[in-house]
Amino acid sequence: MPRRISIRQSVMAADEKIAGLLRRKLSEKKILMLNLIGSPGAGKTALLEATLKGARFRSAVIEGDIATSRDADRIARTGTRAVQINTRGGCHLESHLVQKAMEELDLDGLDVIFIENVGNLVCPAEFDLGEDMKVAVSSVPEGPDKPLKYPHLFSRAGAVLLTKVDLVRHIGFDRGLFWGDVEGLNPLARKLEVSSLDGSGIQEWIDLVEKWVGEKRK
């Protein structure tokens, strides 16, 4: 007869342990970590470029992509330290990859680490990277139906950013539907509209991150 052994352990125990270590380290160093998640082309890198140009806080960026260092190169051009992780086909970042990238950063001179996750609305929502908050990034051209179609990300995010709002007057966008669905999934999320192209909403976003940096320092 086979013997049954009770295990009752999280599948991701090893990765959650690393995420916990990173969270403790960031807490000691009083560094805010934000995990940006959105589709390929949602404007995550453009949002970061606009943020870094206007921000007073000291930042570093961890870039997750399947291939190339194009995003890290773009971030480096703003004068910000960027570390590129190539997942070589992997559809999301995991905490051990972030741990390795963090070793390349000088944590003593930082207020914020932005992680730009692999472009994907599904898998990245499932993995704890030790961040303070997941930020959902969704753009106008993707259409207003994404929150309900991808509820896992939108219901777990601490903030939801609608990007490329300068395009609304050209292609239309049902804001009521989008924000109504976000509200239904996640009443507590911070909700902002931004355009990295014309700069609208960017200062409000920077102010919000600054507020979180202040809270983290306490």
Partner 1 sequence: MHEFSLIEAVIDSIEERSREGSWGRITKVTLKIGEMRQVIPEILQFSFSVASKGSSMEGAELVIIELALEKRCRSCGNSWKGSASRCTSCGCDDTETVSGMELEIESVEVEE
Euclidean distance between CA atoms 166 and 150, whole angstroms: 24
Stretch that binds partner 1, among 4-12, 52-60, 68-76, 106-114 (CB under 8 A): 4-12
- Judge contact between 125 and 156, C-beta under 8 A: yes
**With binding defined as CB under 8 A, does residue 79 bind partner 1?**
no
Q: How far is the CB of 33 from partner 1 (least distance, A)?
A: 21
- The minimum distance between CB 67 and partner 1, in angstroms, equals 16
Report the residue from 49, 94, 116, 142 that binds partner 1 according to the rule CB under 8 A. Answer: 94
CB of 166 to partner 1, least distance (A): 30
Q: What is the DSSP string of 82-127?
A: EEEEE-TT-SS--HHHHHHHHTTS-GGG-SEEEEE--S-SSGGGG-
The amino acid at 203: Q
- Closer to partner 1 at the Cβ: 67 or 188? 188
**Does residue number 67 form part of the binding site for partner 1 (CB under 8 A)?**
no
**Residue with token string 């806080």:** 57
Q: Is 21 in the site for partner 1 (CB under 8 A)?
A: no
> Which of 91, 100, 214, 217 is close enough to bind partner 1 by CB under 8 A?
91
By beta-carbon proximity to partner 1, the closer residue of 81 and 92 is 92
158-177: burial string, b at 16+ Cβ within 10 Å, e else: bbbbbbbbeeeeeeebeeee
Q: How far is the CB of 150 from partner 1 (least distance, A)?
A: 9
Sign of CA dihedral 108, 111, 117, 119: negative
Amino acid at 211: K
Determine if 125 is a binding residue for partner 1 (CB under 8 A).
yes
d(CA 61, CA 145): 29
What residues make contact with partner 1 under the rule CB under 8 A?
1-15, 90-92, 94, 120, 122-123, 125-127, 151-152, 155, 184-188
